[in-house]
């Protein structure tokens, strides 16, 4: 059972605090992310992608890893890629940011945790003067696609790619208004 409310008194969304991941949360977030991706069949046979998902410390050194925390438990996480110089960038647009590895604990799915994480990424991109945010998703992730649509992302087939045989990634792009 998940506790409600923010024990720290900091700003929260639906009882969930969104903030950068802490070192002591690396393992919990790595496990959660691997479990989420395994649950939808998105791990490769050689274990390479699983290792990347589990390596929260590596992601935090090359991008911004955010967590949604409810009480003392990690409810979800996402990797915000601030620019194309990041080793986690899957884009080369000069004024873009990216979102990768969004994962929400199964008990918290459908409660706004993923949306809160996504909104924080969009807020950061706007604050940094980015003109667009790019992300990739598999065709099977229909619920995620509905969330992206609600947040202003549109499909962009020009961004589609196949990182390995049998894995298709669909591109999505959100143009950020300069006045937001």
In a domain, 72, yes or no: yes
- Strands 132-137 and 96-104 turn out to be parallel
In a domain, 162, yes or no: no
Up-side HSE of residue 115: CA atoms within 13 Å toward CB?
14
In a domain, 176, yes or no: no
* Cα 40 from Cα 44, distance rounded (Å): 12
Band of residue 11 on the pLDDT scale cut at 50, 70, 90: very low
pLDDT of residue 180: 44
pLDDT of residue 10: 36
Q: Where are the alpha helices (DSSP H) in 26-135?
A: 26-39, 48-54, 56-62, 113-127
pLDDT reading at 18 higher than 60: yes
pLDDT tens digits along 137-156: 988 888 889 999 999 999 99
pLDDT of residue 40: 67
pLDDT reading at 179 higher than 60: no
pLDDT of residue 39: 67
User: pLDDT higher for 177 or 25?
Assistant: 25
Average pLDDT over residues 125-135: 97
Q: What is this structure's pTM?
A: 0.87
Fill in the DSSP letter of residue 47: S
pLDDT reading at 35 higher than 60: yes
Residue 39's CATH number: 3.40.630.30
In a domain, 56, yes or no: yes
In a domain, 45, yes or no: yes
Band of residue 42 on the pLDDT scale cut at 50, 70, 90: low
**Structure token pair of residue 95:** 């004024």
Its domain, for residue 73, covers 17-129
- The answer to whether the CB of 64 falls within 8 A of the CB of 78 is no
- The answer to whether the CB of 76 falls within 8 A of the CB of 2 is no
Average pLDDT over residues 83-91: 95
Fill in the DSSP letter of residue 44: -
Average pLDDT, the chain: 86
pLDDT reading at 121 higher than 90: yes
**Structure token pair of residue 148:** 């992206």
Band of residue 36 on the pLDDT scale cut at 50, 70, 90: confident
**Closest to 67 in 3D by CA, of 142, 106, 16:** 16
**Count of structural domains, the chain:** 1
In a domain, 6, yes or no: no
In a domain, 136, yes or no: no
In a domain, 152, yes or no: no
* Cα 44 from Cα 128, distance rounded (Å): 34
pLDDT reading at 5 higher than 50: no
Angle at 48 between CA 37 and CA 174, to 5 degrees: 50
Concatenated DSSP letters for 63-132?
Answer: SEEEEEEETTEEEEEEEEE-STTSTT-----TTEEEEEEEEE-GGGTTTTHHHHHHHHHHHHHHHTT-SE
């Amino acid at each position: 059972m998940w506790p409600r409310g923010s024990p720290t008194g900091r700003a929260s969304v639906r009882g969930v605090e969104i903030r950068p991941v802490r070192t002591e949360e690396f393992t919990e977030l790595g496990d959660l992310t691997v479990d989420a991706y395994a649950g939808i069949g998105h791990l490769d046979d050689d274990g390479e992608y699983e290792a990347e998902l589990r390596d929260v410390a590596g992601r935090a050194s090359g991008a911004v890893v955010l967590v949604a925390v409810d009480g003392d438990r990690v409810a979800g996480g996402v990797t915000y890629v601030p620019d194309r110089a990041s080793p986690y960038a899957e884009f080369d647009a000069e004024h873009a940011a990216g979102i990768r590895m969004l994962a929400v604990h199964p008990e918290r799915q459908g409660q706004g945790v993923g949306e809160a994480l996504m909104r924080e990424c969009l807020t950061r991109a706007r604050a940094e003067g980015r003109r667009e945010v790019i992300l990739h998703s598999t065709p099977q992730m229909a619920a995620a696609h509905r969330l992206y649509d609600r947040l202003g992302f549109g499909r962009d087939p020009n961004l589609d790619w196949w990182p390995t045989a049998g894995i298709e990634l669909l591109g999505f792009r959100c143009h950020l208004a300069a006045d937001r």
